[in-house]
Amino acid sequence: MKIIPLNEGIFTVTKDKIFTKITREEVEVANPELLKMSVCPFLIVLPDDVILLDAGLGCVNAGKHVIIQLIEEAGYRAQDVTKVLLSHLHKDHIDGLGYIDGDEFVCNFPNANIYLQQNELTYALGEIGSHSFNQDVLEKVAELPNLVFMTDNQGAIGNFIHYEVTGGHTPFHQVFWIKEGGVTTFYGADNLPQKSYLKFHIAYKSDFDGVTAKEQRQKWEQQAKDEHWTVLFYHDFSKNSVEF
């Protein structure tokens, strides 16, 4: 298994979910009232798949999506991605899936099956007034021919991937374990977005169900230590993966 972080950068985030890119040096001097986080999808290369864990914020540099540039810098192409696994549908996790051109949505990963929870999509499409969701993108994603609706609360995808609907950050948020060659990689997405969440056992108000997310983090931390997981952190601007 090869794990490739695709770090789009570090951002400040307002209450209205406006993301502004900053440098690492600006983190300490940025407005303390703003959230600060990285946005880092992951490319996972397996014997039978090239997997993208969440799709990023959709940043563009010189007319090209940054996530595609990062994949190419790692020696792959967007066309090589065979599966996109979406933990939930907040815009900083799905806007990198593609872009709207007129009335059409151009998918950045045309050869991939895109896996998402059907109940999560129903919930997200109903959150019309929420700044966390990009409704224009959601409506287009819902019509993609390569979309795979997930309806079970847990199960397997292919030979190496297991998933579980956990709730917490959103009502139908899901997490993934990838097990291959004796190695277990865990992606807790926004229920475990930064390593610091393991240090402070807090029920965050930004979560749909902060108590559930807190309890899950404590359980996963112990399992990670006992079973020596590699844990991926989507929003950590210091270290995006840690081996326990």
CA angle 115, 120, 124 (to 5 degrees): 120
Tell me, what CATH number does 94's domain have? 3.60.15.10
Rounded average pLDDT over 92-104: 94
HEC profile for 47-68? CCCEEEECCCCCCEECCEEHHH
* Distance between CA atoms of residues 234 and 142, nearest Å: 24
d(CA 244, CA 158): 25
Q: How far apart are CA 219 and CA 117, in angstroms?
A: 23
Question: CA 178 from chain center: how many Å?
Answer: 15
pTM: 0.96
Rounded average pLDDT over 99-127:
96
> Per-residue confidence at 12, pLDDT binned at 50, 70, 90?
very high
**Tokens linked to 156:** 């397997």
Q: Which of 156, 149, 94 is nearest to 118 (CA)?
A: 149
Instruction: Read off φ and ψ for residue 216, nearest 5 degrees.
Output: -65, -45
- Residue 142: is its pLDDT beyond 90? yes
- Residue 173 to residue 90: CA distance in whole angstroms: 10
Number of domains in the chain: 1
User: How would you class 239 by CB atoms within 10 Å of its CB: exposed for 0-12, middle for 13-18, buried for 19 or more?
Assistant: exposed
Residues 186 and 220: beta-carbon distance below 8 Å = yes
Residue 143 corresponds to which amino acid? E
pLDDT in tens, 20-37: 999 998 988 889 889 999
Helices within the chain (DSSP H only): 66-73, 91-94, 118-126, 135-141, 210-227
Task: Using pLDDT thresholds of 50, 70 and 90, give the confidence band for residue 63.
Answer: confident
Residue 34 tokens, joined: 């703003």
- Asked if the model's pLDDT at residue 119 lies above 90, the reply is yes
| Distance set, CA 86 to CA 83, 118, 133, 188, 238 (Å) | 10, 11, 14, 11, 23
The pLDDT of residue 201 is: 86
Amino acid at position 59, single letter: C
Domain limits at 191? 2-243
